[in-house]
Amino acid sequence: MRIVFIGTVNFSLRALERLLDIGADVVGVCTSVDTGENSDYADLSEISRVNQVPCLHVSNVNSAETLEWIRAKRPDVIFCLGWSRLLKRELLELAPMGVVGFHPALLPANRGRHPIIWALVLGLEETGSSFFFMNEGADSGPLISRRSVPIHYEDDAGSLYERITACALNQLEEFVPCLADPDFPLMSQDDALSNTWRKRGAADGRIDWRMPAEGIYNLIRGLTRPYVGAHFDIDGRQVKVWKSEVVRGMPKNIEPGKIVVNPAAPGVVVKCGVDAIRIIEMESGVDLAAGRYL
């Protein structure tokens, strides 16, 4: 089974490594240059060079030049793992078996953008790891393999990313050797059980101290590394927050956004709409004295 691989993030690199480790016949790799769009960007050219796999850097995976390059590799199937832009029909139909995609959620639920971030920001207790054959919709094609992944209260984007990645790599080992079997069982998705998460923007990462502390905690852990970080503004600058914890039992007569002194929780403690947040890790060089307002 001849495979062309498309990807451009850390998960892509790990998945390509696993495919090569299990002896998959990867005949070509398409990756991109670092445009700054993906905070977890990974260049696949070095692993391709070491394994003597032809590699093409592309800015538009749907371009005529890219399609011709892929077509010349005569793939039976294309793996597109860690590529956020939709593929057009010509590319989806180029390989006889189709294009395998991946979504870090328990499809058909939670299709769409930023699934790891949204799962944490919304306080979910479960997500998933789903491989599927891509179609022209968003994460809507027939399922190849799907696993549930628990979300722990202490998880953040980094730890959940790692747990989902570990699950996905095991799935690859299980299904890739069998995928070419004409009797390989696929599972259709029930669109009635689906929802689609929207794209997030910079404004979605701004901390609003009027929110309950639980919601702010979820926002901070959802946007921490490898992502861009939640932020607040003070003294004309934007400050990124990477780690926090909820402080409960705060007096109700303190306004949201005020930095308070709490002997039980030393450090920077900020009153929220409900409870408070202790900032454990943030950007340095900021005056956050008790009594100031954020």
pLDDT tens-digit series, residues 117-126: 999 999 999 9
CA 189, distance to chain mean position in Å, is 21
> In residues, how long is the chain?
294
Confidence band, pLDDT 50/70/90 cuts, at residue 203 = very high
CA angle (73 as vertex; 70, 75 as ends), nearest 5: 85
Q: What is the pLDDT of residue 33?
A: 83
Confidence band, pLDDT 50/70/90 cuts, at residue 142 = very high
pLDDT value at 182 more than 80: yes
Fold of 202-282: Methionyl-tRNA Fmet Formyltransferase; Chain A, domain 2 (3.10.25)
pLDDT tens-digit series, residues 90-117: 999 999 999 999 999 999 999 999 999 9
> Could you give the 3-state DSSP secondary structure of residue 190?
coil
Query: Please, what is the average pLDDT of the chain?
Result: 95
> Mean pLDDT over residues 153-167, rounded?
98
The proportion of the chain whose per-residue pLDDT surpasses 70, expressed as a percent, equals 100
Question: Where do the domains of the chain lie?
Answer: 2-197, 202-282
Q: Which of 29-43, 164-178, 263-277 has the lowest mean pLDDT?
A: 29-43
Higher-confidence position of 36 and 285: 285
Q: What is the pLDDT of residue 84?
A: 78
Question: The domain 2-197: what is its CATH number?
Answer: 3.40.50.170
Starting at the edge strand found earlier in the chain, the sheet holding 230-234 runs 230-234, 237-247, 276-282, 268-271, 259-260
CA distance 108 to 142: 10
CA distance 158 to 112: 20
Q: What is the pLDDT of residue 37?
A: 73
Let me know: does 100 contact 176? Beta carbons within 8 Å.
no
Encoded tokens for 120: 């944490």
Phi, psi of 163, rounded to the nearest 5 degrees: -65, -40
